[in-house]
């Protein structure tokens, strides 16, 4: 990890530890104030606990032009991004993505081209619906490795993170406490429960919290749709296409709507926010990821709406291309932050339990 980023974050954390004005603001400050000195692992843990709500910056009396020049949200955002890049496997791909959001567009184009080729070269076994374009076996051959390999990569990254932050053996209570905070997006409500100042320094808002909930639950519903369809196909012998009132369709459509609306709202909110209170160097990559995830949801909805028309083969290739791109880039985009944030919350639950 970059030493200068850690050192700057440590300098600011030590000032915050002496001041303690923001102790009740969010999950970062109780954890910060529990230490008297900060190792590199401590700073990495604090950075991944931070939700970049920015309330501490607007409340701080030591921001510029004060000589202390505190900007803790930015300092932690830079360490957070650097930790993802440093722990990622293989590492060069992560650094390339965060410095060049255009990598997403390139990956999409490549994914589209490969799937168009696959739809024609692999062909179909004469199935119904989408399987008339690309057989079920061909889809499994393409997407099973594209799903499993990124999970392996994320697992290796999290192992490195857990070692860095001196994580202890995990107990069930640590996981449940962390999942509760994730499910409620508790930390985006900040310590006072009024929300954060992400898009407007003059007022607290729950907008970012609700948008994150829309995106998270939308993604989980889409994942549930695929999981249920897999069980129905292999376990119950019920093969696609499925009707509107089937669980795969109900989960998929509702998830796609939440994902599309949530990503659109997040893109709008991010445009209103101050880039200098985050990591400016990663702004393009973060915005590109939001657009990619939103496009996955939108293309799925369009495919469902026009699935019985002559546009279906092209729309299927575009949608599957975006999904394939999303899977392959998961360890190197901001999608990884969900895994790291959960790990940080589990580590924080351990701190509370052992203190």
Bigger pLDDT: 336 or 129? Answer: 336
Q: 205 pairs with which residues across the strands?
A: 196
pLDDT at 192 (0 to 100)? 64
pLDDT tens digits for 135-168? 777 778 888 888 899 999 999 999 999 999 999 9
Q: d(Cα 53, Cα 37) in Å, to the nearest integer? A: 24
Which range scores top for mean pLDDT: 100-104, 178-182, 343-347?
Answer: 343-347
Average pLDDT of every residue of the chain: 87
pLDDT at 75 over 90: yes
**pTM for the complete prediction?**
0.90
As given in the structure block, the two tokens for residue 6 are 């850690």
Q: d(Cα 307, Cα 300) in Å, to the nearest integer? A: 10
pLDDT at 243 (0 to 100)? 86
In DSSP notation, 82-115 reads HHHHHHSSSHHHHHHHHH-THHHHHHHHHHHHHH
The beta strands (E) that lie in the chain are given as none
Q: Which residue has the tokens 């709202």?
A: 265
Greatest alpha-carbon span in the chain: 71
Q: Are 178 and 349 in contact (CB under 8 A)?
A: yes
Q: d(Cα 341, Cα 165) in Å, to the nearest integer? A: 13
pLDDT at 321 (0 to 100)? 86
Q: d(Cα 244, Cα 250) in Å, to the nearest integer? A: 7
pLDDT at 93 (0 to 100)? 67
- Name the DSSP letter for residue 128: S
Query: Cβ atoms within 10 A of the Cβ of 308, count?
Result: 10
pLDDT tens digits for 265-284? 999 999 888 899 999 888 88
Contacts of 294 (CB under 8 A, 6+ apart): 259, 260, 262, 263, 264, 267
């Amino acid at each position: 990890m970059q030493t200068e980023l850690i050192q700057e974050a440590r300098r600011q954390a030590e000032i915050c530890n002496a001041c303690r004005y923001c102790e009740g603001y969010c999950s970062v400050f109780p954890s910060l104030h529990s230490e008297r000195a900060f190792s590199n692992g401590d700073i990495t843990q604090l950075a991944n606990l931070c939700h970049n709500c920015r309330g501490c910056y607007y409340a701080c009396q030591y921001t510029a032009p004060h000589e202390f020049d505190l900007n803790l949200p930015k300092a932690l955002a830079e360490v957070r991004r650097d930790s993802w890049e440093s722990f990622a496997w293989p590492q060069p791909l992560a650094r390339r993505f965060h410095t060049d959001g255009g990598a997403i567009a390139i990956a999409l184009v490549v994914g589209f081209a490969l799937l168009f080729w696959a739809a024609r070269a692999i062909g179909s076994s004469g199935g119904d619906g989408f399987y008339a374009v690309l057989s079920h076996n061909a889809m499994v051959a393409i997407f099973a490795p594209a799903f499993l390999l990124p999970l392996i990569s994320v697992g290796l990254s999290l192992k490195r993170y857990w070692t860095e932050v001196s994580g202890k053996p995990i107990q069930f209570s640590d996981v449940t406490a962390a999942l509760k905070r994730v499910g409620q997006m508790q930390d985006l409500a900040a310590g006072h429960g009024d929300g954060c100042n992400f898009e407007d320094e003059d007022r607290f808002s729950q907008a970012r919290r609700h948008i994150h909930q829309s995106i998270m639950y939308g993604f989980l519903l889409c994942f549930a749709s695929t999981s249920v369809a897999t069980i129905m196909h292999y376990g119950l012998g019920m093969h696609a296409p499925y009707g509107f009132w089937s669980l795969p369709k109900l989960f998929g459509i509702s998830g796609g709507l939440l994902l599309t609306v949530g990503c659109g709202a997040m893109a709008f909110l991010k445009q209103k926010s101050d880039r200098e209170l985050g990591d400016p160097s990663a702004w393009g990559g973060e915005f590109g990821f939001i657009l990619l995830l939103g496009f996955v949801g939108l293309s799925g909805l369009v495919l469902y709406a026009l699935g019985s028309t002559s546009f279906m083969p092209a729309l299927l290739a575009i949608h599957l291309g975006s999904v394939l791109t999303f899977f392959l880039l998961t360890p190197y985009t901001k999608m990884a932050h969900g895994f790291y944030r959960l790990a940080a919350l589990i580590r924080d639950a351990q701190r509370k339990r052992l203190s």
